[in-house]
Amino acid sequence: MNSKVTKNIFYEELQEAGQFKQLEQRLLGESNLPGPRANLGAASTFADAFASDWVSDDAWNLLMEWSGKPESAAPTDDPREFLPFCALQAMGSYYRYAEPSRQQIILERCQAAMNDSRWRMREAAAMALQRIGEQDFSALRSLFDGMKDAAGPLEQRAFVAALAHPPMLKDSANVLYALELSEEILDEIAAGQTRYGTEDFRILSKGLEYALSVFVERAPEHGFRMLAKFAVTDDKRMQKIVKSNLGKARLAKKFSQDVERIQLMMNA
């Protein structure tokens, strides 16, 4: 079944409240779970169906029900986990068209999922935020600015993962914001405000190890200045973050001289 036909089926079933159970069974069957890779195509198609100013109360209630499923009801790597995974992304699609009270709920659900114990739900949070940011970057920025002072490592990881989304980085102002927020996070790490050795820090570090290169590629002058700032630290964890980004092909191939300069600084 091609994607266009699948999308049409999703639309039909979403607009018929009596077919929501059938839709649920379809998603469960197409989830590819248990397994290493969920069906991202099916999730995206489902989410796309909510990019509309016509979403019935029944359809909204379905998203509320699914996105609120706790781990006990939708365990990791279980087909049932696919329902909240899809629903959260659909909320991201719907954000632009939703009334303010629903927009607030969508942001609250995304924030909660940033700290979810299930890694797929944390990914769903970042993907939902990317959908919001593509439509309204100011909403994304407002959310992050309101959270950042008290944000924990998992929330910080969600910030950088969401921002490392090329369609949102066509605007230079968005890139500079991503770099500024990343630098604030790195400053906290360098100052010892983030607890090393925890699983939450490992997850944050993994995110920073790739996301920074996405930002630096699009604003090399500011980006390499930031990497240079943290390259000279004696903190091995910080050096790992910088080194990993320098090793990404998007920087190593396009900006070989800048990469070599910072590598020399690290080895000095």
Q: What is the token pair recorded at 80? A: 């049932």
Q: What is the token pair recorded at 120? A: 């797929």
Model confidence band, residue 160 (pLDDT cutoffs 50, 70, 90):
very high
Model confidence band, residue 15 (pLDDT cutoffs 50, 70, 90):
low
Q: What is the token pair recorded at 96? A: 């632009």
DSSP code of residue 248: S
Q: Kindly report, residue by residue over 120-129, the tens digit of the pLDDT.
A: 999 999 999 9
Q: What are phi and psi of 254, to 5 degrees?
A: -85, -25
Average pLDDT over residues 132-156: 96
- The amino acid sitting at 179 is L
Spatial separation of the C-alpha atoms in residues 127 and 194, rounded to whole Å: 25
Q: Kindly report, residue by residue over 210-225, the tens digit of the pLDDT.
A: 999 999 999 999 999 9
Q: Give pairs for 221-225: CB < 8 Å, separation 24+.
A: 222/176, 222/179, 223/179, 224/255, 224/258, 224/261, 224/262
The percentage of the chain sitting over the pLDDT mark of 90, rounded to a whole number, equals 82
Average pLDDT over residues 5-19: 66
Amino acid 9: pLDDT: 67
Residues 6 or more apart in contact with residue 113 via CB below 8 angstroms = 67, 84, 88, 121, 122, 124, 125, 128
